[in-house]
Amino acid sequence: MSCGASPSAPAAAAARAIADVLERSEPACRQLAARGRDHVRDERPRFEPTQEAEDRLIGAFATAMMSGDVDALASILAEDAVLYTDGGGKRLAALNPIFGRAKIMRFIEGTKTKRALPSAETARPARINGLPGFVLRGDEGVETIAIETSGERIVALYIVRNPDKLRHLSS
């Protein structure tokens, strides 16, 4: 649609419905949608961390994880970080993503005794789905943590505890 062109009837109806749900104006919702389409079209990563910055964060994460230093972990998480866990119904894990550093830290504190997060006797650095991370071996078996960084902070943690997905790492 070019500037000044009126939106199609279905698009106008969708904008009205979205505006009602979000309690915003139709033009504001159309602008949000246009920005979203532009961002998807750009197909560029939001952040391009240097290898040095990524290595520093991964090292700090490893130190915090192995020592159990939750304050150190909190200091390297982005304010809007996300934690994804997958226990496959066979190991404890969060059922939904956890959004925000404060909520992630509350989850970690609340699960220390429940073992919903990995603990490791050994942690081996690894690339997991293209991200830096660790393969952990502990008394419950193999688990993985993949870490997404912005160069300055950790923006997402992907923890897989599901033994069915990690069978290939068990040997």
- Domain range spanning residue 36? 9-42
Beta carbons within 8 Å of 127's beta carbon, 6+ residues apart: 133
pTM above 0.85, yes or no: no
- Do 97 and 71 share a domain, yes or no? yes
Interval 68-119: pLDDT, tens: 788 999 999 999 999 999 988 888 888 899 999 999 999 888 876 655 455 5
Closest CA to 84 of 36, 131, 43: 131
Asked, for residue 2, whether it belongs to a domain, the answer is no
- Do 92 and 157 share a domain, yes or no? yes
Asked, for residue 64, whether it belongs to a domain, the answer is yes
The answer to whether 133 and 146 have CB atoms below 8 angstroms apart is yes
Interval 115-171: pLDDT, tens: 545 555 678 899 999 999 999 887 778 889 999 998 789 999 999 988 888 888 865
**Residue in the structure block whose two tokens are 């690894």:** 126
Positive or negative torsion for Cα 44, 49, 50, 54: negative
CATH code, domain carrying 133: 3.10.450.50
